[in-house]
Chains A and B, each alone.
Chain A
């Protein structure tokens, strides 16, 4: 058995990178805007299908297709914010209500994709190459996925730690009232947070679309894994989603060594429950300040 271990670890890293990509935008919005945005799954789905539409159906070159998909996805997430979330914030809706509305947006987008593209699965066939390292093999796209998750993680780190915008986001996350008092406009920062989440989500969507099949509801399981990754990594930290994603990916792959592969979701969900019960602050263990 040990001979396939390296391959399993690589597969786990690939799956984990996909979860981390999905989780990054989700946890950025949770960090700044303070609600669980299911619609991040919608952005992933929309971007994947747009890339399929431009690249595979219309035959536009893939770089331009990717760019167009990213731009339209950003517009999509901004309109969700403008039409739905901003109005909910105006009437001071709770984060549960906002979360439910994001679930409705996810279902809406999946249904829209279903109505336009039909229920059959789609594949994007792009140039791909397999590298054989003897003890394991990996494709070019898989390598790109692993590298992108690291790259986007670094990008997020730079934005949050090194820019004025990042400082504003962190102060807003820490204490909204205090941030407003020192001249930060929350709505403006939220808009930027959604734009970044849109970029993260659409790049994830395109990469996931290259690696897996496309189907209208693909965003749902992906965003659930994104949520699990965020919690396991530590939901009060944006970087937690990356750590959690890789961790979940690895444990799932190693777990289905022992269990039928259909039980993959059961494994990650069990880990989620264990963390929620025994280590609710996640691997990185960043604690939310006590309000009392």
Chain B
């Protein structure tokens, strides 16, 4: 449903993404992994339009979205979260969610339950813990109408309990026919949940395959551990 073709991006001479091509198939959980600086977040930013690629095409269900403004890409059906959570600090949980979509209190409660965030609706986002803010952001991205959900390191900085809950959330998303693209550092988490794993190194796709094939691959080990 989403395909990148020869996407490149340089920042002042440094190639952050180098002729990157891959595809995300419908109703799969696809994970992007790779060492720090491999270009994972840059790819996310390019897909969601926050960073413009220097070259290459990005197709979402046969529509080229490479030149669209971020809000149009969002409307085209891509919902995402950020590595450093971006909630609306001075707004209540409810208002944070209403920005994503007009919903009644019942729907809002349901979506909050599905991410295991149990807090009064009028609580300000700034009063939540960091882990809870991540859950709120996740709920918000789930609520926004979308065909593809992109999560940037959802387990970073959250406690083990929330991490377990995240796994459950992702499994139920897949069961409900959703498509997810994930950036994740936690290998156990990635291998336990992904259908496809894409390994990036220095802006290039190093390897693509099923989790069990990736674990065995020598090149991948080298990218992580050095030669």
Fill in one digit per residue for B1-41: 1 if any A CB lies within 8 Å of its CB, else 0.
Answer: 00000000001100000000000000000000000000001
Q: How many residues on A have C-beta within 8 angstroms of the other chain's C-beta atoms? A: 3
Neighbouring A residues of B12 by C-beta, 8 Å = 287
Fill in one digit per residue for A262-292: 1 if any B CB lies within 8 Å of its CB, else 0.
Answer: 0000000000000000000000000100101
A287 to B11, CA, bound (A): 11
Chain A residues 86-139 with CB under 8 Å of chain B are none
A287 to B12, CA, bound (A): 9
Neighbouring B residues of A287 by C-beta, 8 Å = 12
Neighbouring A residues of B45 by C-beta, 8 Å = 292
A244 to B12, CA, bound (A): 23
Neighbouring B residues of A292 by C-beta, 8 Å = 41-42, 45
Q: How many residues on B have C-beta within 8 angstroms of the other chain's C-beta atoms? A: 5
A134 to B41, CA, bound (A): 64
A292 to B152, CA, bound (A): 13
Distance of B79 from chain A, by nearest CB (Å): 19
Distance of B17 from chain A, by nearest CB (Å): 13
Distance of A280 from chain B, by nearest CB (Å): 15
A290 to B42, CA, bound (A): 12
Neighbouring A residues of B11 by C-beta, 8 Å = 290
A290 to B41, CA, bound (A): 13
Distance of B5 from chain A, by nearest CB (Å): 23
Neighbouring A residues of B42 by C-beta, 8 Å = 292
Distance of B37 from chain A, by nearest CB (Å): 11
A292 to B42, CA, bound (A): 8
Cβ-closest chain B residue relative to A291: B84
A290 to B37, CA, bound (A): 13
A211 to B52, CA, bound (A): 49
Cβ-closest chain A residue relative to B50: A292
Distance of A236 from chain B, by nearest CB (Å): 13
A231 to B77, CA, bound (A): 39
Distance of B34 from chain A, by nearest CB (Å): 16
Cβ-closest chain B residue relative to A290: B11
Neighbouring B residues of A290 by C-beta, 8 Å = 11
Chain A residues 32-75 with CB under 8 Å of chain B are none
A287 to B13, CA, bound (A): 13
A292 to B17, CA, bound (A): 14
A142 to B168, CA, bound (A): 75
Q: Using a CB–CB distance below 8 Å, which chain A residues touch chain B? A: 287, 290, 292
**Could you list 5 A-B pairs, sorted by A, with CB under 8 Å?**
A287-B12, A290-B11, A292-B41, A292-B42, A292-B45
Which are the 3 A-B pairs with shortest beta-carbon distances?
A290-B11, A292-B41, A287-B12
